[in-house]
Structure 1
Amino acid sequence: MNKPKIVWLNFSVFLITFLVAAIAVPYRAITHGFDTTELVVALCCFIYCGMSITAGYHRLWSHKTYQAHASLRFIFALGGAFALQNSILHWASDHRVHHKHVDNNDKDPYSAKKGFWYSHIGWMLREYQAHRYANYDNTRDLQKDPIVMWQHKNYLLLTILMNFGVPILFGLWHGDIISSLLLVGFLRLVLSHHTTFFINSLAHIWGKQTYTERNTARDNGFLAFLTFGEGYHNYHHIFENDYRNGIRWWQFDPTKWLIKGCEFLKLTSKLRTYPDDKIEKARLAMVLKRSQKKLLSHPNAEQMREKLQQEYDLLIARINDYYDVRKKLLASRRDKLIADVESSELAAQYQEFKQHLAEQQQHFQRLLTQLA
């Protein structure tokens, strides 16, 4: 079977940048050294590139999880060119196909089921889906954004200006062009590439399937640290239109914090989230499924399975009651339908259901502990 043609431009870029970063950067560090300013600027550029991909390419343009002011979109467009991961239009088109056909080896551009190498970088080295390369029918909404189309039409020029212009200008100002090109140019680019690529590869094979087993995506806190919050990938693949990936307060998701912070500056708006009860039900469904599997070897499997199902059904009922009354309470506050909602019957009912839910959660957790 003949393999698709090699994309020599991509092959050359990935190989040359990697070799320079792996050989020239350590050699320069040993023979010349890098100062603190150079390291800090390289880190800042790495963060800028990464956040332009996560907050811009991914959550803004690919999934429309929020709206952004033109100035912020322009900043992200430049950062995306700096990250050298193709134009917004092309990147978003690929990513939407990935979500629509995740793990389908014939349609998913970077299907994890074709192996780590393929999903990480191999899919870009050969013309595996050349018939799609110029088909942007799934991004017609983005084609109405003048910044997206400006970047797409001028992408090559912008990548040259950003990837050579920024390091050279900094090098001229700081007095060391070679170190700047190596750190801010090559090393930063290689790190930007491969940390982003980890989401297509590692995040589909390493971590927990917290919310669904319908696809290979995993939640991984370590990858979230490397990718500005994108590592909570199992959550993202079931709730893709949420502007958050890490939904817990303790989960590392600086992209979420950036988007939310910009809302206070009037730079972002209409931040989209999923209902808490829907998220919790998805998590509990996975807990139930795993617990049922553990019971297969239990001596009283059938009896324990029935008890587990009963506790689960009661917990879901409590969740429905709690979130239903909470919605009514919030609506009452918003619409001012009750004069003093804090002392109203609805507020009392809310506290009662909240207590019932907490008690049922404790019952369910105790049962799970017994099964462990």
Structure 2
Amino acid sequence: MSFDTPSKKPKIIWLNVLVFIITSTVALIGVPLYGYFYGYDWGHLIATVLCIGYCGMSITAGYHRLWSHKAYQANALVRVIYAIGGAFAVQNSALHWASDHRVHHGHVDDNDKDPYSAKKGFWYSHIGWMLREYQAHRYQDYSNVKDLQRDPVVMWQHKHYLVLTLAANFGIPLLIGVIHGDIWGMLLTAGFLRLVISHHVTFFINSLAHIWGSQPYNVKNTARDNGFIALFTFGEGYHNFHHHFQNDYRNGIKWWQFDPTKWLIRLLSVIGFANNLKRSDDTKIELAKAETLMQKASQQLANINLPDKDTLLESLKAEYDSYTQQLMDFYDVKRQWVNAHKKQLLESPEAQEIVHKYQELCEHIQEQREKWQAFHQQLKLKYQAV
């Protein structure tokens, strides 16, 4: 006779559990105790910050934007630096990390398929998903990263990941400690403390960046834009934009938005170490913002009782259609202008006409954008007063 056994929780991944427990314990207890008895100086702080930056940028610029999304291309030297930095960050190999991340984007918020679905709660998306074998069937499935398997740097790091991780996490702090004259102090600060901070900074992108912030580009998933989170995640806090335009090498698209990863990639391209930087078209970005604003306004109007609600909805739709049509016209003329520029035909009468129309549409777009935003603001004030 046989009985059906009740479903069990996925097995605990004890290696991950022990790594998190040991590193956190040393960071929370060992680091303060050593500081109390022996003290730290500016050298410890600077080394720790620089090591956090190296780990963080290796993940954001390397694992994330280069390998997961192919947002740009980098030469072998840069890729090796990223690969070592990724091992230093102890976040699995680039091959495994990118595979997980591509599944996340393909099935975002799907509790069964998204490896770190935010809909399962903060704890799960932040760290819980790494403590049990929730998707054990995928652990050796790299069918979605076949392109990365052709990258010799990625495969070198994947094959030697454990050795590289141990060498980087003990070797780099040890070397800095020898130079500085305090080996134990550097092992604690640039080693353990740095690793704990680096871990949770990255984990915040999976958790907080799907919970806290605005959604200017897309309301179809939980991803949020948050400039405050961007300050601690090397620019990854503009997550709503990223989930809608995931192949853009930027996350913060405005010049003033804090995105050091974007600035690093741009610098690498200037000195010839990177190329093929991908950017989303400005018009498509504006269309995404307009569509999202339309969806939000329509939903808000539909949920309140106003005597002229139908009229307002019609007006809203008319303004939206007018604005998006202007954007599409602008996009078409811009494409013609770029083509004329490429063909060096800007002196011809046809090109001059395109340039004139382009400039004219630029002015119309700005006027229409302001009109659209003003109309939406009036609606917002009206339904807030209800």
Normalised by the shorter chain, which TM-score bucket? Answer: over 0.9
Q: Is the 1:104–1:111 contact (alpha carbons within 8 Å) kept by the matching residues of 2?
A: yes
Cα deviations by residue, 1:161-199 (Å, 9 ceiling, x for unpaired): 100011111111111111101100001000010010011
Q: In structure 2, the residue corresponding to 1:339 is in which secondary structure?
A: coil
Is 1:5 the equivalent of 2:11? yes
Is 1:302 the counterpart of 2:277? The answer is no
| Aligned mates of 2:58, 2:104 — CA distance in 1 | 20
Give the SS at the match of 2:10. coil
Equivalent residue number for residue 224 of structure 1: 230
Q: Which residue is 2:252 aligned to?
A: 246
Instruction: Find the counterpart in structure 1 of residue 322 from structure 2.
Output: 314
**Structure 2 residue 325 is the aligned partner of structure 1 residue 330:** no
1:63 pairs, out of 60, 65, 69, with 69
Over residues 34-76 of structure 1, what are the superposed CA-to-partner deviations in whole Å (9 max), with x where a residue is unaligned? Answer: 1111110110010000000000000101111111000000000
AA at the equivalent of 2:324: I
* CA contact 1:49–1:79 (8 Å) conserved in 2: yes
Say which of 16, 24, 49 aligns to 2:30: 24
One-letter amino acid matched to 1:168: L
State the Cα distance separating 1:351 from its structure 2 match.
1.5
The 1:43/1:342 distance shift into structure 2, 3 A limit, reads farther
Alpha-carbon distance, 1:340 to partner: 5.7
The residue type paired with residue 16 of structure 2 is: N
State the 4+ residue runs in structure 1 displaced beyond 3 angstroms.
340-343
Once the two structures are overlaid, the 10-residue window that deviates more, 272-281 or 286-295, is 286-295
Counterpart CA distance in 1 for 2:243 and 2:343 is 34
The equivalent position to 2:109 in structure 1, one of 80, 103, 111, is: 103
2:85 corresponds to which of 61, 73, 79: 79
Return the offset for 1:341. Answer: 7.7
Give the alignment's Cα RMSD to 1 decimal: 1.4
CA contact (8 A) 1:341 1:347 kept: no
Deviations 1:105-164 (A, max 9, x none): 111111111111111111111111111111111111111111111111111111111000
Q: What is the SS of the residue equivalent to 1:303?
A: helix
SS at match of 1:45: helix
Match of 1:363? 371
Match of 1:141 in 2: 147
Residue 156 of structure 1 pairs with residue 162 of structure 2: yes
C-alpha offsets along residues 76-107 of structure 1, whole Å, 9 cap, x if unaligned? Answer: 00000000000011111111111111111111
CA contact (8 A) 2:238 2:252 kept: yes
Is the 2:225–2:240 Cα contact (8 Å) retained in structure 1? Answer: yes
CA contact (8 A) 2:61 2:261 kept: yes
1:347 to 348, 355, 359: 355
Q: Which residue of 2 aligns with 1:122?
A: 128
Identify which of 165, 170, 176 aligns with 2:176.
Answer: 170
Matched, 1:187 2:212: no
How has the CA–CA distance of structure 1 residues 38 and 340 changed in structure 2, closer, same or farther, with 3 Å as cutoff? farther
Q: What amino acid is the match of 1:34? A: Y
CA distance in 2, matches of 1:105, 1:363: 40
AA partner of residue 251 (structure 1): Q
The CA distance in 1 between the partners of 2:298 and 2:268, in whole Å, is 44
- Native 8 Å contact 2:340 2:351 kept in 1: no
The 3 A distance-change label for structure 1 pair 49 and 338 is same
Contact 1:241 1:273 in 2 (8 A): yes
**Percent of pairs with identical residues:** 58
Which SS does the other structure have where 1:215 is aligned? coil
Name structure 2 gaps, 5 residues minimum: 1-6, 381-386
Tell me, yes or no, if the aligned pair for 1:229 and 1:254 is still in contact at 8 Å: yes
Letter in 2 for 1:133: Y
State the one-letter code of the partner of 2:74.
A
Structure 1 residues 341, 196: CA separation in 2 closer, same or farther (over 3 Å shift)? farther
Code of the residue aligned with 1:148 in structure 2: it is V
| Whole-angstrom distance in 2 between the partners of 1:198 and 1:344 | 50
Partners of 1:341 and 1:7 in 2: how far apart? Answer: 69
State the 1:293 CA deviation.
2.7
Q: How many residues align?
A: 372
Closer, same or farther: CA 332–137 of 1 in aligned 2, 3 Å: same
Instruction: Give the secondary structure class of the aligned counterpart of 2:247.
Output: coil
Q: Which moved more, 1:35-44 or 1:328-337?
A: 328-337
Partner AA of 2:296 in structure 1: R
Q: 1:51 corresponds to which residue? A: 57
Counterpart CA distance in 2 for 1:341 and 1:10 is: 67
Runs of 5+ in structure 1 lacking a partner?
A: none
Residues 15, 341 of structure 1: CA spacing in aligned structure 2 closer, same or farther, 3 A cutoff?
A: farther
Whether the 8 Å CA contact 1:333–1:341 is kept in 2: the answer is: no
